[in-house]
Structure 1
Amino acid sequence: MPVPFFNVLNGGVHSGSKMGFQETMIAPVGASSLTQAVRMGCEVYQQLKKVIVEKFGPSAIDIGDEGGFTPPISQPHEALDLLVEAVSLAGYTGRIKFALDPASTEFYSDGIYDIGFKDDKPSLQKPKHLTDLYRSLLQNYPIVLLEDPFAETDWGSWAVFNKECPVELVGDDLLATNTKYVQKANDTRACNSMLLKINQIGTISEAIGAANLAYSFDWSVFVSHRSGETTDDFIADLAVGLRTGHIKSGAPCRGERVAKYNRLMDIEADLLGKGEECLYAGSQFRVASKY
């Protein structure tokens, strides 16, 4: 069963906050089952709500497109500090890891990144300086995954960073669930994981083909919802069937997000009810396809 990555703080173009990074996620890798992982995610989400109210007041708990909170913060370390506190209050320190999706294409132009593109003051960064920021975040927080840390056209920065990146480096906009770009990324050593979005490529068969190509390169595959969603829960079955080991469907909030997590719990309960083996990927989420 896949590890659910909950997007509990929304930023970027998916929210009205000043946070430039689009997604700040929690991953309950220390759970013993998918159902327990969902419970852990929900508990941290509620603790996060309390932390935000205490720091910024009750008006700061609006949510974004994917159900995550949108407090008045603008820097990634501020978001991660909120998560550290919420996880601690929930009693899950060490059992829950973090992930970031900056969605960097949204704030890239002419070789420069502006991570303050939603703030009053621009924060212009060359690729090298953005890389230094990621290094610092990886050193100071329990981050296990970075998605789209660079723009979809900045292939050189991807390849340079991938040489040293100690965590899963996921291509979303870079790859578009397209075998042509997956092949190019492998040839250039740009990343080590593919985000799988069915309607990004158009058909289930093409999406599975891209996943199989990624697996052939010894990559990971990360199943994803979209920011604009319905209550269709097929991607839950897809993640289990392809043994991707991890999935993201937003925060444990809003019906179109929760539907996928509910379906995963139903699958787990059904398998266990039939006496079948049902292992939770946990800390092995990157290599779940090999088991």
Structure 2
Amino acid sequence: MKIKDLEPDKALASLGSETVKVVIKLENRETADVSIPTGISAGKYEARKVSADEGIYQIQKIKHLIINHNWTQETLDAQLEDLSLGANASLAISASFWKAISRINYKQKLKFPKLMLLLFEGGKHGNPNISMQEFMIIEESLKDAIEDFRRLRNFLEKKGLESTVGAEGGFSPLSFNDIQALKTIEKIFPNRQIALDAAASFKKGTIPDYDLILSKYKIASLEDPFSDEEWDLWVKFCTRFGKRVMIVGDDLTATNTERINKAVSLRAINAVVIKPNQNGTISGTIKAAEIAKKGNIKIVVSHRGEETIDNWIVDFAIKIEADFVKFGGMDRGERIAKYNRLSELGMV
């Protein structure tokens, strides 16, 4: 498919930072625009990003190599990798091309992933007294997720619990710690399975007592229980708990094919987070997901801490048949955009 034009620009992400945006036009008159999110707690093994200004400069500089040429997704992404752009610049071009040719344009019978609905946030995303970064529950339907989030909001209001809104649209009560968050979820949602993100690479001090948490609460998924260098701890932990809990790599694996391969071969994880902006191209991200599938581990497609109102990540998650998605809580517009897209595509 020939790219007739592409124009880089800036867009604002959810915390007010500038990010890279690209509008692309194809020879068949299809157009698409994509704005690239970024991480608040970005792992050191993620692909290198650049400032929005630098990203726009890089795209303008290589634009003549891209337009008026025929591309497949694979050949375009190979060219972008050879050009050594910042990951946010290369992904803006790669994802806009993918969105123009692959976006789901009509309702059809789709296989939807399960939702990891964000309820409480801590760490870098909210009240620092809550050391876990994310407390989520696993939802089978969009309707249930909407009702459950509303139920939690009503509970906090009736109890008079003062809460800020976390970076990703969950609640972050000022008086809560980890155990209070878990007890509240257990009380309101006794039949729901819980998913946690410890974000251990960004923790200071002692790690939580995972033995206690896993024995006392209905934990179905635990993300980043250890730092991205503690391979031995990951392997021992997955050996011990992996048969009953999803041990999810995010900062450990960083949507990097080599690190996912290593984690699979060592049996350090049984699930992996996939984030396109950690990789830098759509083809590279798909390859990372394919390695996970071949390794028989679950795939969790995820948003980022600093998000935009763009919703192409929803279509992408469905296209690669993700097992789960993380789109945050329902108290911020850029997160609602993803849930609205699921509704448009027929998820009930």
Q: Do they superpose with TM above 0.5?
A: yes
Aligned to 1:205: 283
State which of 21, 27, 48 in structure 1 corresponds to 2:132. Answer: 21
Structure of larger gyration radius = 2
What pairs with 1:116-265 in structure 2 (closer than 5 Å)? 124-125=206-207, 130=208, 133-165=209-241, 166-265=244-343
Name the CA distance, whole Å, in 1 between partners of 2:338 and 2:257: 26
Are 1:98 and 2:194 matched, yes or no? yes
Name the CA distance, whole Å, in 2 between partners of 1:78 and 1:156: 30
Other structure's SS at 2:240 match: coil
Q: Contact 1:233–1:263 (CA<8 Å) still a contact in 2? A: yes
Aligned to 2:15: none
Matched to 2:197, the amino acid is D
What pairs with 1:70-109 in structure 2 (closer than 5 Å)? 70-87=172-189, 93-94=190-191, 96-108=192-204
Name the CA distance, whole Å, in 1 between partners of 2:185 and 2:113: 21
TM superposition score normalised by structure 2 = 0.64
Please provide the CA RMSD for this pair: 1.7
Name the CA distance, whole Å, in 1 between partners of 2:194 and 2:288: 26
Other structure's SS at 1:62 match: strand
Name the CA distance, whole Å, in 2 between partners of 1:51 and 1:17: 22
- Any stretches of 5+ residues in structure 2 without a counterpart? 1-111
Q: Contact 2:127–2:173 (CA<8 Å) still a contact in 1? A: no
Name the CA distance, whole Å, in 2 between partners of 1:245 and 1:217: 14
**Greater shift in the superposed pair: 135-144 or 188-197:** 135-144
Matched to 2:215, the amino acid is Q
Aligned to 1:34: none
Matched to 1:19, the amino acid is I
Higher helix share: 1
Displacement after TM superposition at 1:61 (Å)? 2.6
State which of 146, 154, 160 in structure 2 corresponds to 1:42. Answer: 146
Name the CA distance, whole Å, in 2 between partners of 1:48 and 1:205: 39
Name the CA distance, whole Å, in 2 between partners of 1:146 and 1:9: 15
Q: Contact 1:49–1:61 (CA<8 Å) still a contact in 2? A: no
Other structure's SS at 1:145 match: strand
4+ aligned runs moved over 3 Å, structure 1? none
- Any stretches of 5+ residues in structure 1 without a counterpart? 30-36, 88-92, 109-113, 115-123, 270-279, 281-291
Matched to 1:85, the amino acid is K
